[in-house]
Amino acid sequence: MRDSAPILIFDSGVGGLTILAEVRKSLPQAPVIYAADFAGLPYGTKSEAEVAARVCGLLGRMAERYQPRLICIACNTASTIALGMVREVLEIPIVGTVPAIKPAALTTSSGTIGLLGTGATVRQPYVDRLEAEFASDKRLIRHAADALVPLAEAKLRGESLRAGALTQAVAGLRDHPDARNLDTLVLACTHFPLLADELREVFGARVQLVDGAQGIARRIAHLTQGQAMERTQDDYAIATGPIASLEALSATLARYGLKQLSRF
């Protein structure tokens, strides 16, 4: 393996930047390519078959072109649907991103946990299995909040969020009859931590926000332990769809160390 072989971080949009930020802390020397499937955004409103076909196809082509040492699917929706299929097709380590139900179950004091995800994520049997294994003695309230995805993307572009838009997107969870005891909130979409400040305003300081970014970064560090890494060029971002979607985020991407932009 080349010392310059990158870690490929893949997401439907910019949510995976929350994973990248944690990977930087664990592996500052690692070369990275960030891939955003803007042409396929949003995943949460697509069928399972559409998501699986798109993710498997794109990652197959990206793996062939960029020869990464590891791929991180930094998207809960894509991971809960397509992770197993991608692992069957590609012969390199694949790290998925799944709802952080286990740490949330260990964190909660009241036993009532909220879960915000896309519609496609919250209905997955994978989430059922996580709940059964780690939170069978807890109350898990799931809520589909697909509208948070474009809000997170808009925030990173520096746009002002429409008044009340975020509150409306999570109202079904906040106003749920069992939510009065809610003290822990799983952010089951990598876009959602980008809205952490706004979510704290809605749910209050007593509700702890939990996401899987740190755990994912630890897993990537473990799987690449002992590997030589050398950054021979600036890290960069690639995207499907119009390059303008990527260029609009150039200042933000630069803050994450992604200094080159190109279309895939």
* 56 labelled catalytic: no
- Please write down the HEC assignment for all residues of 169-236: HHHHHHCCHHHHHEEEEEECCCCHHHHHHHHHHHHCCCCEEECCHHHHHHHHHHHCCCCCCCCCCCCE
- The Cα 252–Cα 186 span in angstroms is 25
Residues in Cβ contact with 254 at an 8 Å cutoff, skipping those fewer than 6 apart = none
DSSP state of 245: H
Active-site annotation holder among 59, 82, 152, 189: 189
* 72 labelled catalytic: no
Burial of 173: CB neighbours in 10 Å, binned 0-12, 13-18, 19+: buried
Report CA-CA distances (Å) from 50 to 77, 120, 167.
12, 11, 30
Active-site annotation holder among 75, 83, 94, 95: 75
* Residues forming the active site: 75, 189
